[in-house]
Amino acid sequence: MLPEKSERCNMKTGNLFKEALLWVGLMILFGLVPVLMTSTYQMNLASHILIWILFATAFNMLWGVTGMLSFGQALYYGLGAYFVGLMVKYLGSAWFFPGMVAGIVVSAIVALLLGLLLIRVGGVFFTMLTLAFAQLAWQITFKWYNFTGGDDGVVGIMQPGVFSNPIVYYYVIVLMVIPSVWILKRIADSPFGTILRCVNQNPDRVRFLGRRVKRNQLRIYVISSVFVALAGGLMAGVDNSIHTDMFVWTTSGEVILMTVLGGINQFFGPFFGAIALILIEDIVGAYTEYWSLIIGTIVLIMVLLFPKGLVGEFLVFKHRFLKLKKHGG
Amino acid sequence: MDFSFFIMQMISGLTVATLLFLVASGLTLIFGVGDIFNFAHGSFYMIGAYLAFQIISVLQVNFWLGLILSGLGAGLIGIVAEMFLLRRIYGRKNEAGFQILLTYCLILIIDDLVKIIFGTEYKTLQRPSGFTGAVQIGDLYIPSYNILIIIIGIVVVVAAWWILNKTRSGKIARAAAVDREMLGAMGINVPLTMTMVFGIATALGGFTGALAAPLRSVTPGAGIEVIIDSLIVVVIGGMGNFWGAWMGAMLIGELTAFGIVFVPKWATLFSYLVMIIVLIFKPEGLFAPGKVRKV
Amino acid sequence: MEPLLKLESVSKAFGGLQVTNNVNMSVMPGEISAIIGPNGAGKTTLFNQITGNLLPDTGKVLFQGDDLVGQTTQSIVFKGIGRAFQISSLFPDETVLDNIKVAIMSKMDNTKNFWRPMLKFKQATEQAYDILESLGLEKEADRFAFELAHGDQKLLDIGIALALKPKLLLLDEPTAGMSPEERKVTQNLIKKLWKEFDLTLIFIEHDMDMVFDVAQVVRVLQQGTLLAEGSPEEIQNNKEVITAYLGEEL
């Protein structure tokens, strides 16, 4: 039987308590790392995982949600990091957090201007042009040795005062990353997020809803880039150094691999993908320098056999299992 | 800048442009005909270069035969990749994204395999005998190997034009670019056509890598530089457009050759600049016909 | 009374092919009319010129006195023209409910909201259910659009258009690909929707039973030219139309 009219709307309004529990739980889980760790290396690993989670999740707002496969989000990751690094290098530690803000603001402006250009083309052209622009930024950083330090990067990027304590800085990362991912989740669940998914599935029909496809693509491109820049800015303080590699194409590729691993069409796909990839790198890296061969092969197999990714395939499995149980019982 | 120096730079630009065109034409061919974007195209260029090193330098095979064998070897690997990997994702939802992803994985795998097999140090390949010197024209000395490359480029352009316009296979390939399904209905083996075109495109990439090996040192990771350069060329010329790729390559080749004279450090950025300008004013490519693009 | 939609000598050619040739027509508010004609007569092309997908070479498309030529699809939709497609155009990976709901939200200009969860817009959910009920699709609300049967997908397509509260609704072969039983149901449904939503409705259709049963006015297109226009009776007895098009079917 169909529910009564008044009931319909209450059916799936979600459970606020459960949601709050999830996000607070995540904060506590990551917050416990410094308490339970047996070496500072574990905390460093957790910092990397957190930052890549934000990077990959922000990236997937473009790809999985809106269908825009960018191979150049490293551009904003690098911008975010270099603003922090260079401002600390030339102006001093006090400029660490202002540098982060500056990196984010500049990234937003660059994303807006570049986005206006990029959205003119679609499909593989978009992908390859994002790649080209990120490589351009990489080349400039690489060659402008006097200012950027070129291939040597910048080392000794210290946070001001108490924030230079690795444990304090770790908590800064937790308090920035988890709420950022929460914000992205809100965006994905909002009407704007729905329009983005519709743009992905049927742009022609979106025009017939009276909505502008390219404008929405531009909006999410800027939003994604802002969060990527935040991830980059945070990373500058993790190892207290930045390097031109942050701009390079494999950095953009890394988040793509994470997303495929976790699941393209799942919000939490990149979340688990980032954890999985970094752990694989960490473990495999201890035995061989050819870890990109291993990762390449793993992701190749995922693409061919499990295109839904870890999270997606798990949900399918769970769905089947529940069905089986229901019929059995 | 005197006249002879000008000519020298022009020839150097023409050499770069020819190599650029040869490798980009493979990229544009498989995209135009098969609607496949082979992100790993640069890796096949690299495979060609390493095969040439192995066959010619190590196994001491005749240079010209080695060149052909390197191209064929890269093409063979391309055929295997198409049949066992790419073919499995045709027709999948969001196919374009998966193509890029799959070929990206190929880049990672090929790069590391090359490192494992050949090591990470630079390899060099001698120019073939008879082409080590220079040709004197007036008071100009032009490296004869450069002239050879330019001639090969012209031969490939003419041959490609002839194949695409005058032969049955060329007509099939051009029809496939327009409508794959109709071709199937006409009783043509579409999967086989796709495999062959992919093989030819990767062979062209490998051949270019082998041809360029005596001029540039052979290194792992060369693939990505090549793919980005080809991409810029193809965007400027219009994707899937053979002649556009040629014009784009000429433009970029000469611009880089003369740019290096005036601003040596930043010359490599010129090609990006041209691409950005093209994108702003004519995003479908400078030489694209005025029709609506497929993608 | 002023016509709601008025085409004034609209013409369009692709190369040498004249796909729309000097078409004049006036559609009165509240009218339900059909456009018929052989394949390739330029029916869909005419729709495309009304909704801004194609730019006419010459002529005016007046909607409530406002010339639509040169305006974007987006602004034309907001002026009150809705459209369903010959091949249903849906958001396949969204639920049936959300397909309608996103259109309602777009109409209410809520799609810029990036913060409030979609589920919290209860009023939109109510309205979406109302539309699904009118279409008889309320039982499918939670299924994904791609899971629906062909006929239901066509209805959902109409539903998306209805959710935008159009004054003028254009339906491109609403019964294409349906079984005779489904056609009958859809035929009655369209009549019902026309009254219920207070629409001006133009549909393209090949099923003559439906055309002559539903339409108040029938227009016949042939090779881009408006061959005849009139009540179903007039069209059925029009010699020109019979020889040109209806001949074998009547």
Distance from CA of B179 to the nearest CA of A (A): 19
- Chains contacting chain C through 3 or more C-beta pairs under 8 A: A
The amino acid occupying position A100 is M
Cβ-contact C62, C6 below 8 angstroms: yes
Mean pLDDT of B141-152: 89
DSSP, collapsed to helix, strand or coil, labels residue A214 as helix
Tell whether C51 is within 8 A of chain A (Cβ).
yes
Alpha helices in chain B (DSSP H): 3-34, 41-52, 63-84, 95-118, 144-166, 168-178, 180-185, 190-212, 222-237, 242-262, 270-281
Nearest to A53 by CA among A254, A221, A193: A254
* CA–CA min distance C156, chain A (Å): 13
CA distance B264 to chain A (A): 11
Of the candidates A230, A252, A279, A288, which has an alpha carbon nearest to the alpha carbon of residue A108? A230
Contacts of A300 in chain B (CB under 8 A): 85, 102, 105-106, 109
Summarize the confidence of residues C74-102 as an average pLDDT.
94
Which of A110, A289, A293, A297 is the best substitution to test chain B (most B C-beta atoms within 10 A)? A293
Residue C24: pLDDT band (50, 70, 90) is: very high
Residues 192-211 of A with CB under 8 A from B: none
Chunked into runs of 10 residues, chain A (329 residues) has average pLDDT values of 47 70 94 92 96 98 96 97 96 96 98 93 84 91 91 92 95 97 96 96 94 96 98 96 94 96 95 96 90 93 93 91 73
Buried residues in C222-241 as b, exposed as e (16+ CB within 10 A):
bbbbbbbbeebeebbebeeb
3-state helix, strand, coil in chain A (%, to 5): 80, 0, 20
Q: Which of C74, C115, C120 sits opposite A212 (nearest CB)?
A: C74
Query: Does B178 reach chain A within 8 Å, measured CB to CB?
Result: no
- For residues C117 and A167, give the distance between their C-alpha atoms in angstroms, rounded to a whole number: 35
Residues of A with Cβ-Cβ distance to B231 under 8 angstroms = 128, 131-132
The CA distance from B72 to the nearest CA of chain A, in Å, is: 24
Q: How far apart are CA C208 and CA C194, in angstroms?
A: 19
Half-sphere exposure of C154 (CA within 13 A, CB side): 20
Instruction: Look at residue B96 and tell me whether its pLDDT is greater than 90.
Output: no
CB atoms within 10 A of CB A190: 23
Dist CA A208 CA C87 (whole Å) = 14
d(CA C71, CA C69): 6
* Res. C41 pLDDT band, cuts 50 70 90: confident
Backbone angles phi, psi at C173, to 5 degrees: 50, 65
Q: What is the pLDDT of residue B158?
A: 86
**What pTM was estimated for this model as a whole?**
0.92
State phi, psi for B245 to the nearest 5 degrees: -60, -40
Average pLDDT, chain C: 92
Considering CB atoms only, which of C73, C106, C117 is closest to A190? C117
The average pLDDT across B178-190 equals 75
Res C238 pLDDT > 60: yes
pLDDT at residue number A8: 52
Rounded-to-integer distance, Cα C50 and Cα C168, Å: 11
Give me the count of residues in chain B.
295
pLDDT band at B8 (very low <50, low <70, confident <90, very high): confident
Answer whether B275's CB lies under 8 Å from B235's CB: yes
* C110 in A contact zone (CB under 8 Å): yes
Find the CB nearest A304 among B88, B235, B275.
Answer: B88
Q: Do A117 and B275 touch (CB under 8 A)?
A: no
C-alpha torsion A139→A142→A143→A145, nearest 10? 160
Between positions 1 and 60 of B, the ones with CB within 8 A of A are: 31, 37
Distance of alpha carbon C218 from alpha carbon C233, whole angstroms: 9
List Cβ neighbours of B72 (8 Å cut-off, separation of 6 or more): B203, B206
Q: What is the pLDDT of residues B231-272, one digit of tens each?
A: 889 888 877 777 888 889 999 999 988 888 888 888 878 888
Instruction: Give the distance from residue A185's alpha carbon to the nearest chain C alpha carbon, in angstroms.
Output: 9
Residue A111 is predicted with a pLDDT of: 98
Amino acid identity at A25? G
Percent of chain B with pLDDT over 70: 97
C167-to-B149, C29, C161, C201 alpha-carbon distances in Å: 67, 8, 11, 8
Q: Per-residue confidence at B291, pLDDT binned at 50, 70, 90?
A: very low
- Amino acid at position A7, single letter: E
Residues in A touching C169 (Cβ below 8 Å):
none
Nearest to C190 by CA among C159, C164, C148: C159
Distance CA C118, CA A191 (A): 5
Partner residue facing A135 (CB), from B94, B228, B239: B228
- Which of C211, C79, C69, C190 minimizes the C-alpha distance to C136? C190
- pLDDT score for B295: 30
Q: Quick count: other Cβ atoms within 10 Å of Cβ C202?
A: 26
Q: Does B108 touch chain A (CB under 8 A)?
A: yes
